[in-house]
Amino acid sequence: MSKLLQLFSKRAETPIETRGYGKVYLILSGLLFIGTMWSLFDEISTRRPWKDYQDEYFTLSEEKWGERLKEAVASLDSSALREIETQLNEAQAKLISPEIVSIKQKINELDEVLLDLNREFTFAKSRGDEAYYFWKKSIHEGHEDASYKKQLDENEAEMASANQKIGVFTTKHDSLSGIVLELTNAVKAITTKRKELFASLDFAKTRIEKTKSSSISIHQVMSNNFDRSNFGIPKARIDRCQTCHAGWKDETMEDAQRPFTKHPVPELLKIHDPEVFGCTPCHHGQGTALTVGLAHGEDDHYWERPLLKGKEVYASCNSCHMNQTYLKQGDRYNFAKRLIAESGCFGCHEIKGYMEMPKIGPPLNQLTTKESAEWLFRWVRNPKDYNPHTRMPNFKFTDDQAEAVTAYLWSISQSSSYHPQKGISGNGNVDHGKELVDKVGCKGCHVVEEDTRVRTARGTSYDIAPELTRVGSKANNDWLYEWIKNPRSVNPEARMPNLRLTDQEARDIVSYLMTLKDDRQFEQKTIDFSSPETIAKGEKLIREYGCAGCHTIKGMERESRVSVALNNFGRKRVDELDFGDKKSSEVPHTWDDWVFNKIRNPRTYTTDRIISKMPVFSFADSEIVAIRTLLRGYTKELPEEPYQQAFDTRLQKVEAGRRLTHYQYNCVGCHQLEEEGGYIKATLDDEGYAPPYLYPEGNKVQEPWLHDFLKGPTTIRPWLNIRMPSFSLNDEEITVVTKYFLALHKKELEMKDYKAFQPSATYVTVGKKLFDDLQCLSCHYTGKVPEGKTPADLAPNLALAKSRLKPDWIVDWIINPDVIQPGTKMPQYFPDLKEPSPFSEDFGSDAKEQIKALREYVLTIQGSK
């Protein structure tokens, strides 16, 4: 240290002019040089790790194609190759055999001769034209010179003779070259066959060449005017993800390691082409970044939309598809949308896409006729106590609060005009009732006693209709009888259909259900109905807690939603969320943790000043995670028009139909519609007893028939125990269902007179013959159901076809049943329409015409006994 100081003081003593600055200059310029070199290296390589990724990708790609090349080489059929080579050699030998050589020579000679003859011809023509000119000139000038005419004639004669010779030689030439051509073509055909053998090998080779000559560059997709900045100005979306994820569309990269793995779900990619769309609209992340941490968001905490990992990617579907409750391959998205629709979150929260859904709970205007006040009190206090799988959440009322609510509901019920008839429900057979409940279709919606198969098949933690295991302690006989005979007579808006039970059947079921009791002991509670303060308190509580969001209550029909809108909930920042008194060790301060804990226990953030009113649902953890993913997708950031899916009339019809069939009337409980449904199958041993698959209905049934069927169902498959219930749908609802079925097949509802379709006599005759040959009646029937067959082998009554089925559909069905109804037992009689029909020679063995004949015959079948 002191030596350094000495150095400096010595330096200070030397005169300024003689001080040497060489060392200083050297050091500083050396540092500058190092710095510049370092920054160059930094710019070219260190800060551009994507170059390394691309390099790695090309190496990997070469490797994989090299493997494919090896495979292709190994799988080369050497015997076939040898055969082809011998053929090729033979064919080529023929071409160089002496006869062919001499033929070729002759052809050459003929070519020369023809060439000379042609020249003769053209010269003669030329001379003739000259002569013609002079001759005509002489005529025009007044004195015709006949010598020119003579010349003309001579030349024409020459032309004719040359032509004739040309003709002769040409025929000779053509026949000879025809022989040669045949042989050359044979060689060509064999060479092509050989090339085909090497096809995959050559392809692999070209790919390797291409990879070797690929250059390292940034790949980006630019979507102009995709969205708007925070100031409302349109901006483009630029995604450079492909630069590192270079193997996303490379079929050899299906099991490569990250980041080169091929993108799964190619069917989804066809609709959302990343070359048009980019990657970030679905996966989020920072598209313009070229390093992992910045692109995915871990290193850039200011990027508001970090990468959605794993199944969280389903959150982004909501930006474009907010109006739909179901998407093909939607997985978690569909699950979450369904949870929200069925749990009725929209009763308290405004959520886009759910605003017109009907209230999910029953009306509360006539409770006195149905249950006891003590039961109602216990229910209001904690619904899950009576029915652990009910959709109604627990409001955690105190006894006083529950009493007040009960008193109020009891008071409004006094003025209802409905009263069940007394004493009509006696004398029922309990065992028969149990049998009916098991078989007739109640289990499509209700869980009874220990049979939870349908609940498991539905896959949610709640049931869609009340569990009947304790109904004997809740309802009374008379109400129950009237209800199951015809629910709409009790509640004009009831969703429960009626099963067209006879009086005795209804009595039996009532007797059975009334044996299912709640065995637990409860302390006696007298409800104070008369006190106006209690009733007023009850009314206040009901308004405060928003019961009218799920239930129709007299006097509260126009109440607004009692809680916050969730349309922009995905954009809530962590500092905007209230964690109450929870420490960050209990609930980490992230959006994800706040939401998860809130849905699991909504009262968890209550403090001494902030009361939470949201009731407690009992969702399973997987359900909470799904709802959270969906909520993450509720942001007000929509892509601009051209990039969004237009919610056109077809989709609107499909949505309207879905809401009716999936959520309102629970058609999916028995029938499979689209990719989900048919949960009642879990209670059946034989597939043949299951209600039919309804996806083909739009193409399949005549609309007038569907209308009549839905108004009053008739039996199509008498061997089924389950009855199609009568839903009392009005015409509007039936139209919604019809349009839904049609829209699924991209068709519109048209006015069509199906009676105008007249089968032609010839077709009918041929059809009948085929009908008998193919033994259609071995499964189908036209009058009486054949005995001794299992339901799986039975098929519908063909006498119904005339009034029920669409004529075009019958043809499509016979052509390929399995594509319309996968897994059907109906065989495909005509696998290839181009091949002649194996069954008969009518219509020149044309398969399609024969199918039409079958159709015409079927449409003439009348019912028989």
For binding to other proteins (CB under 8 A), which residues are involved? Answer: 16-17, 21, 24-25, 28-29, 31-32, 35-36, 38-39, 42, 229-231, 302, 304, 573, 575
Residues 326, 345: Cα–Cα separation, whole Å:
17
Q: To which H or E segment does residue 234 belong?
A: strand 234-239
Residues 854, 856: Cα–Cα separation, whole Å:
5
Q: Least distance in Å: CB of 244 to other proteins?
A: 20
Quote the tokens at residue 511: 């007797």
Please list, in sequence order, all residues whose beta carbon lies within 8 angstroms of the beta carbon of residue 702, skipping any fewer than 6 positions away: 752, 754, 803, 804, 805, 806
* Residue 715, burial from CB neighbour count under 10 angstroms (0-12, 13-18, 19+): exposed
Residue type (1 letter), 95: L
Residues 199, 693: Cα–Cα separation, whole Å:
44
Phi, psi angle pair for 225, to nearest 5°: 50, 45
Alpha-helical segments (H) within 96-198 = 98-141, 146-197
CA angle 570/573/576 to nearest 5° reads: 115
CB-CB contact of 313 with 282 (8 Å): yes
Q: Least distance in Å: CB of 17 to other proteins?
A: 6
Smaller CB separation from other proteins, 44 or 81: 44
Burial 215-247 (b: 16+ CB within 10 A, else e): eeeeeebebeebbeeeeeeeeebebbbbbbbbb
Q: Least distance in Å: CB of 581 to other proteins?
A: 13
Q: Least distance in Å: CB of 192 to other proteins?
A: 60
Smaller CB separation from other proteins, 23 or 520: 23
* Residue 437, burial from CB neighbour count under 10 angstroms (0-12, 13-18, 19+): buried
Smaller CB separation from other proteins, 15 or 712: 15
Residue type (1 letter), 838: P
The secondary structure of 363-376 as a DSSP string is P-S-GGGTB-HHHH
Residues 140, 645: Cα–Cα separation, whole Å:
80
Quote the tokens at residue 548: 């009218």
Residue 434 CA: distances (Å) to CA of 448, 454, 759: 10, 17, 49
Please list, in sequence order, all residues whose beta carbon lies within 8 angstroms of the beta carbon of residue 395, skipping any fewer than 6 positions away: 380, 545, 615, 616
Smaller CB separation from other proteins, 230 or 417: 230
CB-CB contact of 216 with 55 (8 Å): yes
Neighbouring C-beta atoms of residue 679, cutoff 10 Å = 24
Quote the tokens at residue 281: 């609209």
Neighbouring C-beta atoms of residue 809, cutoff 10 Å = 19
Torsion of CA 570, 574, 579, 584, to 10 degrees: 130
Residues 482, 496: Cα–Cα separation, whole Å:
13
Q: To which H or E segment does residue 32 belong?
A: helix 22-41
Q: To which H or E segment does residue 223 belong?
A: strand 221-228
DSSP for residue 237? E
The helix/strand/coil state of 457 is helix
DSSP for residue 261? P
Residues 305, 296: Cα–Cα separation, whole Å:
9
